[in-house]
Amino acid sequence: MLLLPSFAARAGSPAARQGDPGDPAFHAGSRVAGGSTNVLINGIPAARAGDPTTCPQVCPGVFPIPHSNGSITSSSSTVLINGLGAARVGSAIHEPGTPAGCQPVHSVTVGSNDVSIGP
């Protein structure tokens, strides 16, 4: 019997696309807002390093302060889309203007169920 390595073990992480969510625990409603204009994954623009994100979350307090919009700051080093690293589940999102006491960095949590991006 011939045993082959599992494809799933080396397939990478689900590809991120415009509209895919960030971490709901710290950034409810966070979404990838940008993507490639000419590369689609399941008919949706592919997300890349540097693409913008939105976050409607408000930090609690006496004067609730909204989170800032951010961008994808980590991506694949081997898969490029329009010369930029392809984003995937686990790619970091940084919201630089997020108020003190709130977590400014989180990650993409959901992506394509049938397209994976390698390291």
How high is the pLDDT of residue 8? 45
DSSP result, 11-73: S-EEBPBTT-BB-TTTSTT-EE----SS-EETTEEBPBTT-EEE---EE-SSS-EEPPPEEE-
pLDDT in tens, 47-69: 999 999 998 887 766 666 777 78
Q: What is the rounded radius of gyration, in angstroms, for the C-alpha atoms of the chain?
A: 16
Q: Check: CB of residue 38 under 8 Å from CB of residue 46.
A: no
Q: Which CATH number fits domain 12-111: 2.60.200.60, 3.40.50.970, 3.10.110.10, 1.10.10.60?
A: 2.60.200.60
- In the chain, where are the structural domains located? 12-111
* Residue of 117 and 6 predicted with greater confidence: 117
Predicted TM-score (pTM) of this structure:
0.84
At residue 89, does pLDDT exceed 90? yes
SS3 label, residue 8: helix
Whether 6 has a pLDDT exceeding 80, the answer reads no
